[in-house]
Chains A and B, each alone.
Chain A
Amino acid sequence: MDWLAQFFIRLLETARDFMPIFLVLIGFQLLVIRKPISNARKTFAGFIFVLLGVSIFLEGLDLALFPIGKLMATQLTTAEFLGINPVNKTTTWQTYAWVYIFAASLGFAVALAEPSLLAIATKAEQISGGTIRAWGLRIAVGIGLGFGLALGTFRIVTGTELYFYIIAGFSIATLQTLFTPKAILGIAFDSGSVTTTMVTVPLVTALGAGLAQTIPGRDPLSDGFGLLALASLYPIIAVLSYAQIAQWFNKRSLSSTP
């Protein structure tokens, strides 16, 4: 009973968060376009599905993934696990090797579970007529996200300036766009920001805060940020590379079979 009440509150909260968008959609449809929604019943059912789906999804994340994700982020950064000598606290960036590996695997896995990425990848596959594969796109994003997060944790450990990592990423992406088929550019750029929503944000924030708390000399209040920015930048580079590799393979198979 207790649990049911909790779920009901969650449902109401989600409804409140989605209300502005629903109002804008319906308001513009009825007042500006001035046409009844075609298939109103189906659309309404879809709204309910989305609402229920997101609420159940979040409830499940709270039950299963968030507690364990946060627990792991803290366990992995404890002094005992990392084998830091409690007397002289000299650590190098290599001490945290497991943290980078964890961040990379977490990034990869989280990208594959992200509903928004799934939605956009399916859309891209439909529109491209199958030239872009939804799975290929998602795996490319996963690799990029994993790399971005590993780099981000490395940055928190070493305490270097976020600015440089961002500029470096921007520059690589800019260079790549010159050599990438123009058709995929939009999708590649979008896939970066798409990854950082429902699943990724809370988990990544927990990881950053956990790291900033354990590492000596870092401020938990200000040094835990910046992971998300890298998590949305490096997938762009990964997807651009995926497009280039796919193009290269296409060309090669074309020239070998005349």
Chain B
Amino acid sequence: MFKKRFINQLINSFFDLSPILTVVIIFQVLIIRQAIPDVGHFILGILFVLIGLTLFIQGLELSLFPLGESMAYAFARKGSLFWLLSFAFCLGFSAAIAEPALITLAKQAAELAYQKTTIIDSPSDKNNYALGFRITVAISVGLAILIGVLRIIRGWPAYYPVFYAYILIALMTPFTPLEIRAIAYDSGCVATSTLTVPLVTALGVGLATAIKGRNPMTDGFGLVVFASLTPVIFVMIYGIIV
């Protein structure tokens, strides 16, 4: 049975990937008019992507989704707000701090600050700036999950925090150094990663199911978007202060 599911998933994954293959091949052959360099590697790589995607989806359904939901139930039954909120914060923080895309972005931000502004004078300070940037983003993601969980418990509508975040971002942008603006906007998207999204979704949906009077559809979602907006605010603050 397991084998059959794996094969089904493999076929699904192929359909998921077919659009990107079509775009790449059409552009390369018809518009740029050049053969794909190294076809052998290309085909091998596509096979890898296919198998990887299949394994990832299977693994999510076996572990992260059920675990996230069962933990949400357990916390709801335990009824300790403190532990639930600290779990939410730790989850967001730990997911963001090690995110490879964030590490890259932090380095780029430090490079930018070194070359374009007078914030950093010596190259050795770049590492500190990058680390500060990463910690700032990770803290903001943790806080976002914390506030999101609090929102589900209190039953505030999903769009409230999102709107406040939007308004704050819009108001703060003019006061942010020009160089850091685009990077601040991008930092939000980078922080919510491959594992964060399914886990946080499972947590939100699980909580909204477990708590009386909450609807998993209306209340369970909306955590991820908030977690990608707060880093923008925090990075702007970081840019203004540092």
Contact = CB atoms under 8 A, between A and B. Distances in A.
Interface of A: 13, 16-21, 23-25, 28-29, 32-33, 35, 37-39, 42-65, 67-69, 71-72, 75-76, 81, 98, 102, 105-106, 108-110, 112-113, 115-116, 118-120, 123-124, 127-128, 142, 162-163, 166-167, 170, 174, 177, 182-187, 189-190, 192-194, 196-199, 201-202, 205, 221-223, 225-229, 231-232, 236
Given A37-B67, A194-B224, 14 more contacts: A21-B94, A43-B62, A49-B56, A53-B53, A53-B59, A54-B56, A67-B37, A67-B41, A109-B22, A112-B17, A116-B197, A177-B159, A222-B182, A226-B186
B87 A53 contact: no
Contact of B42 (A33, A63, A115): A63
25 contacts: A16-B98, A18-B195, A21-B95, A25-B199, A28-B71, A45-B62, A50-B55, A56-B55, A60-B49, A61-B45, A68-B36, A71-B37, A72-B24, A112-B16, A116-B198, A127-B217, A162-B181, A170-B166, A186-B219, A186-B221, A198-B193, A199-B20, A221-B112, A222-B179, A227-B186
A43 B70 CA distance: 12
Given A32-B87, A68-B24, A193-B188, A50 B195 contact: yes
B32 interface: yes
Contact of A57 (B56, B94, B158): B56
Best-buried of A81, A198, A223 by chain B (most CB within 10 Å): A198
B73 to A, nearest CB: 10
Interface in B167-225: 169-170, 173-174, 179, 181-183, 185-186, 188-190, 192-199, 201-202, 205, 215-225
A19 B98 CA distance: 9
Nearest to B111: A221
Contacts of B150: none
Best-buried of B47, B116, B188, B201 by chain A (most CB within 10 Å): B201
Given A72-B32, A120-B198, A64 B46 contact: yes
Contacts, number: 330
A53 B52 contact: yes
Best-buried of A21, A174, A196 by chain B (most CB within 10 Å): A21
B52 A54 contact: yes
Contacts of A197: 101, 192-194, 197
B130 to A, nearest CB: 15
A64 B42 contact: yes
Given A21-B95, A23-B94, A49-B55, A113 B185 contact: no
B74 interface: yes
Interface residues of B, number: 108
B59 A50 contact: yes
A231 B197 contact: no
Given A64-B42, A127-B220, A46 B52 contact: no
Contact of B189 (A56, A228, A236): A228
Given A33-B71, A56-B48, A189-B222, A75 B53 contact: no
A229 B41 CA distance: 32
B97 interface: yes
B90 A68 contact: no
B139 interface: no
A75 B181 CA distance: 28
B91 A109 contact: no
A115 B239 CA distance: 32
B75 interface: yes
B223 to A, nearest CB: 7
Contact of A56 (B51, B90, B197, B201): B51
A54 B44 CA distance: 16
Nearest to A38: B70
Given A53-B53, A228-B190, A190 B223 contact: yes
B194 A198 contact: yes
A175 B226 CA distance: 18
Interface string B19-33: 110111001100110
A184 B190 CA distance: 24
Nearest to A113: B20
A109 B55 CA distance: 21
